[in-house]
Chain A
Amino acid sequence: MDPMTTPTTTPGPGAASDSLASRDKGFLLGLYERMFLIREFEEQVKYLFLAGSMPGTIHQCQGQEATAVGVCSALAPDDYVTSTHRPHGHALAKGLTPLEILIELFGKGAGCCKGKGGSMHVGNLAKGMPPAIAIVGGGLPLATGMALAFKMQKRPAVVACFFGEGATSEGAFHEAVNMGAIWDLPVVYACENNLYGASTHISKVMRAQSVAERCSGYRVPCRTVDGNDVVAVHDAAREAVAECRAGKGPVLLELLTYRMTGHSRRDPCHYQPKAERQAWAQRDPIETMSRRLLQRDDITAGELEQIRNRVSRQITADIETARREPEPTLADLTTDVYA
């Protein structure tokens, strides 16, 4: 698939990757549930922002659920991720609970960052995710350094470093990938290529035909993957993680996907052509997965509906819990600056 052009035809359910018939049912349903969790979380949060009951700003990832879930499902609990200004999906995929993120988004003291991070900095180091880095490209050197520590400590851990295609114009991207390469570090550079850096199309800022091409000079394996196919992402990430664990890192995965919502709140996306939006809507990662799952004899529409209802109810309940959490105390303002 050419990342520089929009899809003109709608790939059928089976066109993205091979049949799911041979895969474990529980595993597949787990991927589906996690993707739906992210979508539902983002949709309910979007409503809270538009209703004015949540402070700050948000950068959401509707449409990009398969990249987060596909990559994180290939990681072990002791592995790490680094994230970006659009971190909710990565956090949920890595195992942070909706509740700890919601409390953080409401700016309450019991949030995953004690209310000091907010939407753009959600993370929980104990769950393998440092605070998300909201400076574009800023997480790449950090992830590379985490991998350097693993190598020096002879720990088998791997770090998956999420960033957008926009970050590949930053010097930090090039400096980090080069160091990852010369030191053979266990990093999976997971580029979510959603075609737009804020409102600017990738074709305006990159002469190379793909991020993989742009990166190929570093002699790092660069693989372009359908980022809306969660199983394809999982398989590519699992292979990359195994290579990293075997000392053959780093690997760059270019995950082709699309942001089905604004860059940040209230962005109406007028820069995304309607036909392009419609074409990508046909490739919605959750809908696609649903169609493919239902081709199996042992998965029913009712089963998927049950999952969706359970997740929706849980998030709705979590929102009410988060709302009732106490604000941080003013004494918290000046703590946690120094160790």
Chain B
Amino acid sequence: MRMGIAEALRTAIAEEMRRDPNVFCIGEDIGVPGGWGGAFTVTLGLEKEFPDRMLDTPIAENGFFGVAAGAAMMGMRPIADVQYGDFLLCAMDQIHSNVSMLRYMSGGTVKLPMVMRAPVGATGRGAQHARNTERFFVGVPGIKVVAPSTAYDAKGLLKAAVRDDNPVMIFEHKLLYGSKGPRSESGAVDATSEIPAEDYVVPLGTAAVRRPGAHVTLLGWLLMAHFALDAARRLEAEGIDAEVIDVRSLSPFDYDTIGRSVAKTGRVVIAEEGPKTGGIAAELAAGIMERFGGSLQAPVERVASPDVPVPFAPVLENAYRPSPAAIAAAARRVAQS
């Protein structure tokens, strides 16, 4: 069956809640009858089947992320979500100081099987509902981070996250949800997939080669995985054969898959939505150079946003977001150097 990411996530959540009575959802506006099913319809209607396991919270992100963590410590498997990834910063103390560390601080006795979902991406809302906040959770030991760019992955990664005994953050892109009706997004990109009827997971910690190629490796995640594929199609016409990897797992990185590609192409471009300085692409570039520097035939290039907050004006927002053309231009430079 063909689904968008929002529907695939909804299906995954429902299946996991049926499978395990300890799974529950906690967040703002997620299970209000007649409401929205969260900001992007992901949990729409689930309260009908699970009236006791869809917890609508006060607007108190730090509080309810801590509540989710406490429940996880006592054997529940919460799925906590924020309406916008920016609001994770309100919950930063609980996520950074409790969720990520309690296991280590306890000498390995505490388990926190909890999922944290967050929509990210610049989408016509100005600066504070727009940041790609995944950068703040990469390099936080104790947390796993994934960022699906297709409906197939969204479902499989969410299921893997629910079944994992660690805290897992799932970043979702607003332009990829495929939300319909009043919650649809202008500028949305098709991320629908054929979803198998049978149960499956996509293992955490794995990247996916979306397009094999020989000349240059393009790395991206979320929207940038789609833009990298777009760039590869443009490059193909010029005789540049780009390999596109959907990084997909941001913590840990799948250096096996990335390394095989770098060994083959010797050239790397990393695309990231978000300010260039201190971004995830910086860590990836450093990690690639440390591990596979001997294979590199050209310096790694990053294509990222300028070091500014996300602007509102559509013309400026489009300039903020790395474009397929910019990714293709970087790939040309790298391929020809």
Q: Which of A168-176, A297-305, A311-319 contacts B (4 or more CB under 8 A)?
A: A168-176
| Minimum distance in angstroms from A158 CB to a CB of chain B | 12
C-alpha gap A115/B93 in the complex (Å): 23
| Minimum distance in angstroms from A279 CB to a CB of chain B | 36
Asked if B186 lies at the interface with its beta carbon under 8 angstroms from chain A, I say no
Asked if B141 lies at the interface with its beta carbon under 8 angstroms from chain A, I say yes
Asked if A269 lies at the interface with its beta carbon under 8 angstroms from chain B, I say no
In the complex, are the beta carbons of B166 and A339 less than 8 A apart? yes
Across the interface, B94 reaches (CB within 8 A) one of A141, A179, A335, namely: A141
Contacts of A336 in B (CB 8 A): 103-104, 106-108
Asked if A142 lies at the interface with its beta carbon under 8 angstroms from chain B, I say yes
In the complex, are the beta carbons of A135 and B76 less than 8 A apart? no
The count of residues in chain A whose C-beta lies closer than 8 Å to any C-beta of chain B is 44
Provide the A111-127 mask, 1 if CB < 8 A to any CB of B, else 0.
11111110001011110
With A146-B70, A149-B75, A176-B66 already in contact, the answer to whether A125 and B106 are too (CB < 8 A) is yes
In the complex, are the beta carbons of A179 and B73 less than 8 A apart? no
Across the interface, B74 reaches (CB within 8 A) one of A116, A133, A146, A335, namely: A146
C-alpha gap A287/B127 in the complex (Å): 60
Contacts of A337 in B (CB 8 A): 103-104, 141-142
- In residues 62-118 of chain B, which contact A (Cβ within 8 Å)? 62-76, 93-94, 97-98, 102-113
Asked if A144 lies at the interface with its beta carbon under 8 angstroms from chain B, I say yes
In the complex, are the beta carbons of A179 and B71 less than 8 A apart? no
In the complex, are the beta carbons of B110 and A130 less than 8 A apart? yes
Interface centre among B103, B105, B107, by most A CB within 10 Å? B107
Asked if A152 lies at the interface with its beta carbon under 8 angstroms from chain B, I say yes
Asked if A27 lies at the interface with its beta carbon under 8 angstroms from chain B, I say no
Select from chain B the residue with minimum beta-carbon distance to A171.
B62
Asked if A286 lies at the interface with its beta carbon under 8 angstroms from chain B, I say no
Contacts of A152 in B (CB 8 A): 24, 52-53, 71, 76
Across the interface, A153 reaches (CB within 8 A) one of B60, B72, B75, B113, namely: B75
Contacts of B166 in A (CB 8 A): 338-339
Asked if A264 lies at the interface with its beta carbon under 8 angstroms from chain B, I say no
Select from chain A the residue with minimum beta-carbon distance to B141.
A337
C-alpha gap A111/B111 in the complex (Å): 19
In the complex, are the beta carbons of B107 and A117 less than 8 A apart? yes
Asked if A48 lies at the interface with its beta carbon under 8 angstroms from chain B, I say no
Select from chain A the residue with minimum beta-carbon distance to B63.
A175
Residues of B within 8 A of A (CB): 22, 24, 52-53, 55, 57-58, 60, 62-76, 93-94, 97-98, 102-113, 141-142, 144, 165-166
Residues of A within 8 A of B (CB): 80, 111-117, 121, 123-126, 130-131, 133, 135, 138, 140-150, 152-153, 171-172, 175-176, 178-179, 182-183, 335-339
Name 9 interchain pairs, CB-CB below 8 A, sorted by A: A115-B107, A131-B110, A138-B94, A138-B98, A141-B70, A144-B63, A175-B62, A175-B66, A339-B113
